[in-house]
Amino acid sequence: MAVEVVYRSSRDLERLFMDKAEADRHDKMLELAELLTDVLQKAVPSLNESQGEELGIFMAKNRDIFAKAFKNQPDALNELGKDDTGE
């Protein structure tokens, strides 16, 4: 019988990863998404919890694109529509 090592995300217990680094990246993305959700809900009180979470996760998954846009490359946001999966 073969033994397989898998890693579980500490913030998303249902997700399993074959690589520790990938699990760590996922946890960091979820941590950023949580913080973004809090900030967005404070800035826009009319956002419900689900909308805030969706926006936070979307922004965290696309953090590199948003970082480019915030660094005087607003055209980088055009890349967001190209990937329908959001990952």
Q: What is the pLDDT of residue 83?
A: 58
The strand ranges marked E within the chain are 7-8, 16-17
* 15: in domain: no
Q: Are 37 and 53 in contact (CB under 8 A)?
A: yes
* 46: in domain: yes
Q: What is the pLDDT of residue 10?
A: 85
Residues of the chain with pLDDT under 50: 86-87
Which residues form the domain of 37?
25-82
Q: What is the pLDDT of residue 86?
A: 47
Q: What is the pLDDT of residue 76?
A: 93
d(CA 18, CA 14): 13
Q: What is the pLDDT of residue 84?
A: 53
* 41: in domain: yes
Instruction: Give pTM, 2 decimals.
Output: 0.78
Q: How many domains does the chain have?
A: 1
φ, ψ of residue 7 in degrees (nearest 5):
-120, 140
Q: Please, what is the Cα angle at 85 between 17 and 67, to 5 degrees?
A: 90
**What CATH number does the domain containing 67 carry?**
1.10.10.710
